[in-house]
C-alpha cells in the first residue's frame, strides 16, 4: 500500500530561500565570480567535469558555487544538466600521443625522448601552508626555457618495440564501443565499457580500491610507465562536411600503469598494463583508474579473483557517486508509513514473545508444583 501525505510546501520553500541566503553568506564579502573559480579552483572544476562526465569549465564552476563547494552535489547538478541537451554524436578518438604536453613523467625510464617535464605539480612541495597566499601577495610569472619542440612518444610504445609489454587494448574488429549513458550496465562487461564507468567514477572510491591493490589485495606490482597531462584536439565527423570538424582542445590526464608479467606456453612473459584517462588535470584519479582497470582484468589474465578491486560487479556498481549518494541520501526522506509498518510488526513480535514467556513460566510453575 502507498499512502500519500501532503504538507510541508511552505517549509520546503522557506528552506530553499534559507539555502540561497547561506550560500551567499556574509553580504559584505564579494560574491564569487565563475571566472575566479575556473582560474583559481581549477582542479576542483576538473574533478566536477570528470565525475560529472561533462567537459565544460563554466558549468562546472557554476555547479560548485550552487552546491556551496559540495563536490558530489556539484557533480549531481552537472549530470542532471547533461540530460537536457540533444546529442550530436561521438568524437573521433583523441590522440594522446599528439598532446600539447603540460606535464609528463615516467617512473620507469629516466631518459626518454621528450624528457621528464614536471609541469605545475604539487610533488616535491613541502605541504606547508603559505601565509603569503592568504595575504594575497603577487605571484611572479613562471620561467621559460626555449627549446625545440620535441616529439613525446608514449612510454608504452618504447617498451612495445622490444615486445616486452602487451599491446594497447584491442577489441574484436566488429566491436562497437559500449555507452553506459545509453544502455544499462550488464555483467560481465567489456573493458571499454568498464573504462567509461571508471573515468566518471568517484575519485575517493577508486583511490581506496587502487590503494588496496598496493597493500596486497589483488597485488600486481605497478609502476607508473607514464603520466601525461595536456590538451588534445577534438574532432567530430559530421555528414554535412567532407572532413572531420575540429571542435577545439580539451585537457586530459592519461596514466599508463605497467604491471607484472603474464606469459603462457605460447607467449613469452611480458608486462601487462592498466590504463587511465580522465578529463582535466586529475592525475590521482587517472592513476587510481589505471590500478582498478588492471585489477579488473584478473579473469582475462587468468588470475584468481580474490579481492574487492578485482570484482567487476562490485567495483563498477559502486563507483558512481551520484548513484551512491542518491541511494544513501534517500534514507533521510520520509519513510513514515514504512516505519509505521515495522513498528506494528515489532510490537506484535514482542507481544508474541511475552505471551510465550508467560506460558513457559506457567508451565514451569506447574511442573514445580507437581
Partner 1 sequence: MRGQEARDQADRKAVMATLAQASGDDIARLWNEAGLTSEAELLRGPETGLVTVRGRIGGGGAPFNVGETTVTRATVRLPTGQVGHSYMLGRDRKKAKLAAIADALWQDPAQRQTVETALVAPLRAAQGETREKRRAETAATKVDFFTMVRGED
Closest to partner 1 by CB, 251 vs 284, is: 251
Query: Of the two residues 185 and 236, which places its CB atom closer to partner 1 in the complex?
Result: 236
Figure out which of the listed residues 18, 118, 267, 341 binds partner 1, where binding follows CB under 8 A.
118
Q: Is 246 in the site for partner 1 (CB under 8 A)?
A: yes
C-alpha cell at 3: 499512502
> Between residue 73 and residue 92, which ones bind partner 1 under the rule CB under 8 A?
82, 85-92
| Helical H segments across 109-164, by residue range | 131-134, 155-161
Q: Between residue 96 and residue 115, which ones bind partner 1 under the rule CB under 8 A?
A: 96-97, 100-103, 110-111, 115
Please give the residues from 171 up to 230 whose contact with partner 1 meets the rule CB under 8 A.
171, 175, 177-181, 191-193, 195-196, 199-200
Type and span of the H or E element at 336: helix 336-369
Site for partner 1 in 16-45 (CB under 8 A): none
CB 169 → partner 1: shortest distance, Å? 3
Residue 263 touching partner 1 (CB under 8 A): no
Asked if 239 touches partner 1 (CB under 8 A), the answer is: no
Cell of 17: 530561500
| H-helix or E-strand spanning residue 34 | helix 34-40
Q: Does 259 bind partner 1 (CB under 8 A)?
A: no
d(CA 194, CA 292) in angstroms, rounded, equals: 10
User: Which triple of cell numbers denotes residue 229?
Assistant: 597531462
DSSP 8-state symbol, 102 = E
| Residues in region 338-367 near partner 1 by CB under 8 A | none
R_g of the chain computed on alpha carbons: 27
Kindly state whether residue 69 participates in binding partner 1, applying the rule CB under 8 A: no
Q: How far is 75 from 280, CA to CA, in rounded Å? A: 14
Q: Which of 156, 213, 281, 321 binds partner 1 (CB under 8 A)?
A: 156
Question: Is the separation of the CB atoms in 257 and 228 below 8 Å?
Answer: no
Helix (H/G/I), strand (E/B), else coil: 335: coil
Measured from the CB atom, the residue of 210 and 225 that comes closer to partner 1 is: 225
Amino acid at each position: 500500500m502507498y499512502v500519500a501525505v501532503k504538507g510541508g510546501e511552505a517549509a520546503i520553500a522557506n528552506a530553499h530561500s534559507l539555502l540561497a541566503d547561506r550560500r551567499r553568506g556574509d553580504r559584505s564579502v564579494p560574491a564569487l565570480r565563475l571566472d575566479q573559480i575556473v582560474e583559481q579552483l581549477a582542479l576542483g572544476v576538473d574533478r566536477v567535469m570528470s565525475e560529472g562526465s561533462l567537459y565544460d569549465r563554466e558549468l562546472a564552476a557554476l555547479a560548485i558555487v550552487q552546491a556551496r563547494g559540495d563536490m558530489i552535489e556539484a557533480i549531481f547538478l552537472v549530470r542532471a544538466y547533461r540530460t537536457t541537451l540533444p546529442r550530436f554524436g561521438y568524437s573521433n578518438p583523441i590522440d594522446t600521443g599528439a598532446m600539447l604536453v603540460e606535464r609528463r613523467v615516467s617512473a620507469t625510464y629516466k631518459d626518454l625522448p621528450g624528457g621528464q617535464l614536471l609541469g605545475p605539480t604539487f610533488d616535491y612541495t613541502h605541504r606547508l601552508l603559505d601565509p603569503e597566499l592568504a595575504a594575497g601577495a603577487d605571484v611572479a610569472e613562471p620561467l621559460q626555457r626555449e627549446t625545440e619542440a620535441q616529439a613525446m612518444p608514449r612510454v608504452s610504445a618504447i617498451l612495445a618495440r622490444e615486445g616486452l609489454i602487451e599491446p594497447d587494448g584491442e577489441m574484436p574488429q566488429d566491436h562497437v564501443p559500449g555507452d553506459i549513458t545509453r544502455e544499462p550496465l550488464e555483467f560481465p562487461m567489456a573493458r571499454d565499457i568498464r573504462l567509461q564507468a571508471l573515468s566518471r567514477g568517484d575519485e575517493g572510491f577508486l583511490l581506496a580500491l587502487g590503494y588496496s591493490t598496493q597493500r596486497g589485495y589483488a597485488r600486481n606490482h605497478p609502476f607508473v610507465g607514464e603520466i601525461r597531462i595536456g590538451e588534445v584536439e577534438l574532432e567530430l565527423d559530421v555528414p554535412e562536411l567532407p572532413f572531420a570538424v575540429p571542435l577545439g582542445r580539451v585537457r586530459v590526464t592519461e596514466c599508463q600503469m605497467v604491471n607484472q608479467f603474464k606469459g603462457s606456453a605460447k607467449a613469452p612473459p611480458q608486462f601487462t598494463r592498466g590504463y587511465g584517462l580522465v578529463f582535466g588535470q586529475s592525475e590521482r584519479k587517472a592513476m587510481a583508474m589505471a590500478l582498478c582497470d588492471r585489477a579488473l582484468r584478473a579473469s582475462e589474465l587468468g588470475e584468481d579473483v580474490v579481492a574487492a578491486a578485482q570484482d567487476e560487479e562490485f567495483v563498477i556498481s559502486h563507483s558512481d557517486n551520484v548513484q551512491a549518494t542518491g541511494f544513501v541520501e534517500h534514507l533521510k526522506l520520509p519513510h513514515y508509513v514504512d516505519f509505521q509498518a515495522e513498528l506494528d510488526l515489532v510490537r506484535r513480535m514482542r507481544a508474541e514473545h511475552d505471551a510465550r514467556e508467560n506460558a513457559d513460566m506457567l508451565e514451569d510453575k506447574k511442573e514445580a508444583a507437581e
